[in-house]
Every structure is written in structure tokens, then in C-alpha cells.
Amino acid sequence: MHYYLEGRPIFMQLIFLGLLVVASFLATMLAGMLLVLPFTGGGLMEMATNLDDFSDPETVALLKYFQIVNQLGVFVIPSIAFAVFATGKPWDYLNMNRFPKGRLVFFSVLLIIFSVPWINQLVVWNESWQLPGSMAGMERWMKHTEEQARQLTDAFMKNTTWQGFAVNLLMISVLAGVGEELLFRGVLQKLFTALFRNIHWGVFSASLLFSVMHLQFYGLVPRLLLGIMFGYLLVWTGSLWIPVLLHALFNGVTVVVYFMAGRNWISSDPETFGSSSDPWILTASVTLSLFFFLLISRAYSKKTGNRFRSPVHDKEAF
């Protein structure tokens, strides 16, 4: 059986993926608006003009709803659809046909746990960046988008009910982990690797796009490094479930910390939780992260005989 994308140039496949994302986004947003319309008393358009009023619980609930719709429409649906157009085995294509061995899962979880201090310290460092005076306009725009993202996050997280906590976990942890990894690691990393015929460029390109897509430029570097970490874990474990699990875990910890702080169960500031400027803690964090990163790499090396062999030439790598 011939599939539409079979044998097509990679550049054409990238264009097709972009069109799928746009079409899916428009379709799901339209469907989402039609579904929610009866519950807004026909005042959806009126509410849409006040979507920046984060003090209104109804507005925040509507924003959460459309955030979930957006994650399905931009990340989940087009990724799966692309895999269906590409092959008769979409779950194989997306590397979701099997779950890795328990040892690799354990090492990967420890890796993300020990990475938290140095990642959060990188966030602090990245936030201190200043652009040259000639780029003052761009810097103001970047700070404005960053502040908007922070206000939206605070609006989502300040709900201290168990129902709100469950919705946040679904939206920020589960759907973000599944959807973003499907698109950026499951599809784009594969396409970029084939385009450049180099696994390193494939991982880096998908990770850079992943970081830029968030439009939070003062978190660009740590998010880029997280993406690179997830990218190599996909290569080395052969399963997208590892990046999905770690992405969901990393986001989920943030949701839990905000919830616990909102209920006064902990006194820590959620925005600085896990970060430390102590050189000993940072050294230990980097060292242990590298240790488990290399352990996972070694398992791949034993399997293929070449730690960094490109999946373009090694079918077992993906």
C-alpha cells in the first residue's frame, strides 16, 4: 500500500506538517468554540474581548479550556495524522510502539530529578540577559511577552481546589508532555535528522524550535537544553515514552509545588523552588545528571556498537 508521504522529499514533508498543524488548529478551535457556546449564554465573543482579565474565574476557566483545545489541535492531532500519512504503522513511526526497560526508565527519572537545580539556576542566569541598546525595542517586546506568560501561569496556578489541581495536571503536565513530545521529538526530530542526515543537527534543530515556540525568551537556554536532553533520550532508548514521561514529570512538579504553596502546605516560592546558587549543590546536580545521562548512552552504545550513529543509517535507533 502506498502512503501519501512515502518517498516524498523531506522539505515537502515539513511543509505538509505545517499545513496539517494550521488546519488542525483552525478546525479544533472552531469546534471548541461551538462546543462551549451553549455554556456561555451566547456571550463567547463578549468574553473573548476580556481574555486578559485574569482576575475573573470564568475568563480563566475559558482560557484553560482553549489551552486544552489548542494542545490537541496544534500538537496531538497533527502529529498522529502526519504519522498516518507517512506509514501504515503510525505508532512505530512515532516510537510509541513499545515502552523501554524499567532500568532505563529509572535512570531517566533520576536524571530529570538531579537536573532540577542546574536547570533552575540557568533560568535565573537567562533572566539576567540584557540586549544591546540598539535592540531596546525587541527587549521591551520580549519582556512584555514574558510578563504576559507569567501572569497567565499565575492565573492558571492560583486555583487551590482539587478540581483545579486535576485540570492543571491534565493541561500542563499530561497534555503538554504528550503533545509537545509527539510533535517536536516524534515527528520534527525525525524529519530534521533526515533533512540534515545528522542526528546531532536533528536533535538541536527540533529542540531550538521547541524552545522558541514558547515565546518565553528569558527561558530559552534551559528549555533548549531540556529539549536536547529529551532528544538524545529518544535516540538512545528508542521510545518516545521516555521524553513524554520526563516532560510530564518536570511540568507536573511545578503544578504540585504551586498547589501546595497555594494551600500553605509549603512556604517555598514556586518560581524559585529547586533552584540553588550553592556551588556544591550545582556541582553535584551537574555531575549526577551527566552520570545518568551517560549510563543511558552506554546502554544504547552496547546495543548498536556506536553511541552517536545516525538513525538515518541505523533503523534500530528509532
φ, ψ for residue 149, nearest 5 deg: -65, -40
Greater model confidence, 99 or 171? 171
Secondary element (H or E) of residue 265: none
Asked whether residue 302 carries a pLDDT value surpassing 70, the answer given is no
Greater model confidence, 66 or 40? 66
* Per-residue pLDDT at 133: 77
Helix 220-237 to helix 241-262 angle (10° resolution) is: 140
* Per-residue pLDDT at 46: 62
Categorize the per-residue pLDDT at 218 as very low, low, confident or very high, splitting at 50, 70 and 90: confident
Distances (CA, A) of 67 to 23, 33, 61, 62, 175: 17, 12, 10, 8, 10
φ, ψ for residue 56, nearest 5 deg: -90, 115
Asked whether residue 138 carries a pLDDT value surpassing 90, the answer given is no
Asked whether residue 307 carries a pLDDT value surpassing 70, the answer given is no
* Per-residue pLDDT at 275: 75
Q: With pLDDT > 90 as the criterion, what percentage of the chain qualifies?
A: 53
Instruction: Read off the pTM.
Output: 0.89
Asked whether residue 270 carries a pLDDT value surpassing 60, the answer given is yes
Mean pLDDT of the region 96-125: 89
* Per-residue pLDDT at 315: 40
